A = this chain, B = another copy of it.
Amino acid sequence: MELNRDAPYVVGVDLGGTNVRAAVTDRAGAIKGAGRATSLAHDGVAKTVGQILAAADEAMREAGIDKAQVAGLGIGVPGVIEPKEGVVVWAPNFYENGEQYRNTPFAGPLRERAGMPVFMGNDANVAALGEFRFGAGRDVCTLVMLTLGTGIGGGIILDGKLWTGATGGAGEIGHIIVAAGGRGWAAAFGSLESMGQISAITERAARKICEARQSRLAETVDYDWRLLTPKLIADAAAEGDPIALETFEETGYYIGLGIASMVNLLNPEMVVVGGGVAQAGDLILDPIRRSARANAIKSLIDSCPIVGAELGDDAGILGGVSLVLDALEG
């Protein structure tokens, strides 16, 4: 399907395990209309594709824009992606006939029913593209982005291009190992994800609560550490609660080690930190920065600020838009 090079608009889609969000933007990334649907992630490719189209149609309707005015659709998918063939190599949260997606053609079915070119990438990679083109990284050429949440993902932009690796699997930032023999299971023992994901953060605070340390955070959850969330910990840290502050210090230490590794390896101009956990702002970013400074080569970290993401929930959508714009410019 030919890319409509003269079309003034682009559709960006952020596919999550629960919801799919879409937007129509102009070529400068200004959102003209938005749509949303449930992902129906357990109901097979055809149903999920239908939901994506429903969200995209809603966005186009809201914008008053016709399909003929759209150059293409870019989409971030949470899983291992082979972008050239448009295949989902593995997506643990999406099911076809009761089985997780494995080597599942996805861009093709979507393209056929959308009636426009489709570009696909890993969701965290695509969010990095969004921050690179429209967000915190708009003034640099080379950056690493991390998204801190239930898992840890990210993307690597080198000289203006998303680095996807030899087989499309690059940028698995959560899977670099920073603490040999450390916490882990789903991701490797001692991996950045295992040491810095939400469950690691709440586990750290939970242990301190169970050590019966004096703490407002402990009182807030009435010693039921199952109620802990990064948001509650951040609120307590903002009020100076010692175990909340320590939890962020320790978490920032490990995340900073991962960033130090990437700075030493890739010498980027900037590291962007996004995802839900990053909403704690400097409470988490400062410990991260301190750890990266302490553990990276000085000349490399001196030239590489660590900044918060700017696009929030829109990074994925605008990254999808970027996939199409990259193709238009490429």
A residues near B, CB below 8 A?
80, 89-90, 140-142, 156, 158, 163-173, 175-182, 188-191, 195, 253-254, 257-258, 260-262, 264-269, 294-297, 299-300, 303-304
Contacts and interface: CB of A to CB of B under 8 A. Distances in A.
Contacts of A189: 295
Given A188-B260, A260-B188, A299-B80, A265 B166 contact: no
A264 B191 CA distance: 11
24 contacts: A89-B299, A156-B265, A158-B163, A163-B266, A166-B268, A167-B303, A168-B267, A169-B297, A169-B299, A169-B300, A171-B265, A172-B300, A173-B264, A173-B265, A175-B261, A176-B176, A176-B262, A176-B265, A177-B178, A177-B257, A177-B295, A180-B182, A180-B190, A180-B195
Question: What are the 7 A-B residue pairs with the smallest beta carbon separation, nearest first?
Answer: A165-B267, A176-B261, A170-B267, A175-B264, A179-B180, A172-B264, A166-B269
Contacts of A178: 177-178, 180
A267 B83 CA distance: 14
Contacts of A176: 176, 260-262, 264-265
Nearest to A253: B180
A143 to B, nearest CB: 9
A297 B172 contact: yes
Nearest to A182: B180
A80 B303 CA distance: 14
Most buried by B among A140, A168, A177: A177
A159 to B, nearest CB: 9
A167 B257 contact: no
A303 B170 CA distance: 12
Contacts of A294: 188
A267 B156 CA distance: 12
Contacts of A140: 166
A175 B257 contact: no
Contacts of A175: 260-261, 264-265, 296-297
Contact of A266 (B90, B170, B191): B170
Nearest to A302: B167
A100 to B, nearest CB: 14
Given A165-B267, A175-B296, 13 more contacts: A80-B299, A141-B166, A158-B158, A167-B303, A169-B299, A173-B265, A175-B260, A176-B261, A176-B264, A178-B180, A179-B180, A179-B190, A188-B295
Nearest to A165: B267
Contact of A165 (B166, B169, B268): B268
Contacts of A297: 80, 169, 172, 175
